[in-house]
Structure formats: C-alpha cells, structure tokens
Structure 1
Amino acid sequence: MALSYKARRRWSLLILVIGLPVYAVLAVNLVALLPVLPKFLEFILYVVLGTAWAFPLKFVFKGIGQVDPDADDNS
C-alpha cells in the first residue's frame, strides 16, 4: 500500500516534530543505562542511534521536497 504525496508530507512532519524528539530522549536514556563506556565507544553508539531511525522511515521522506506529482499543472 503506497502512501499518497500528501499523506507522506503529513507523516514526515509528524515524525520530525514529535517522533524524532521522543526517539532522541529514548536513545539518551538507553545509553545512560549502559555501564560506563569509553568516550569513543559512546560517541560511536550515539552516531549509530542517530542515523538508525532514518533507514526504516526512508520511504516516508523520499520525494517530499519535490513538487507534488499528483498536482494539476493548470494553475
């Protein structure tokens, strides 16, 4: 089931405004639960967690910055 352009725009806004801050708080709390790690390992963990959210949601964000393909060209 493919999402329409408008639905993807709405979902992307919701994900960026609400989902990403919640994910950031959860990621920081997850790292805080771990025993004391060397700084470079902690940095690598933050980089992995900071980019991991985007891969499963890539289909939502793909093409959002483009012109609506379903819009009429007659303006």
Structure 2
Amino acid sequence: MRYKTKRRLSLLVLVLGIPAYIIVAVNLIDLFERPSFWVELLVYLGLGILWIIPLKPIFLGVGQPDPDDKKD
C-alpha cells in the first residue's frame, strides 16, 4: 500500500471509525443488564485494545517520512 494511501486511510479510521466503534461498543454494553464496575471496566479495556489488532498494519510507519519522496 502506498504511503499516502496509508496516511489517508489512517486519518479516516481515526476521524470516523473510532467514534463509530465507541458508539457501537457503548450501545452493545447498554443492551445487557449493567454489570459491576470491574466487569464493565474490563470489557471497555478489552474493546479498547481489540480495535487496533486488525488495523495495526494501516498505522505502521505513518509517522515516518514518506519513503517514496525523492529529495535530490
């Protein structure tokens, strides 16, 4: 995947994907009877880590300089 594509896709995920994921996660938890504080905390921590597993390749190297940029 080209560097510029990765940057745009990672920005799209951060601006639109993460807020949508948070809304879905909160609504899913709300469907069930309210668990204890510690169970709810563990669920939110798990969901907070779970989103990055499939998206990690998109974010790798995004903060580095563009490798395709030729400065001659």
Q: Where does 1:1-75 land on structure 2 (aligned, <5 Å)?
A: 3-74=1-72
Deviation at 1:29, TM superposition (A): 0.5
CA–CA distance in structure 2, aligned partners of residues 13 and 31 of structure 1: 27
Q: Aligned to 2:52, what secondary structure does the other structure show? A: coil
Runs of 4+ deviating beyond 3 Å: none
Q: Deviation per CA, 1:2-47: give whole Å up to 9, x if none.
A: x110100000000000011000000000111112211100000000
SS for the counterpart of 1:65 is: coil
Per the normalisation by structure 2, the TM-score is 0.96
Which stretches in structure 2 are left out of the alignment for 5+ residues?
A: none
Following the alignment from structure 1 to structure 2, what is the Cα–Cα distance between the partners of residues 24 and 36? 17
- Larger RCO (alpha carbons 8 Å, 6+ apart): 2
CA RMSD of aligned residues (A): 0.7
**Percent identity between the aligned chains?**
44
Aligned residues: 72
* Larger fraction in helix: 2
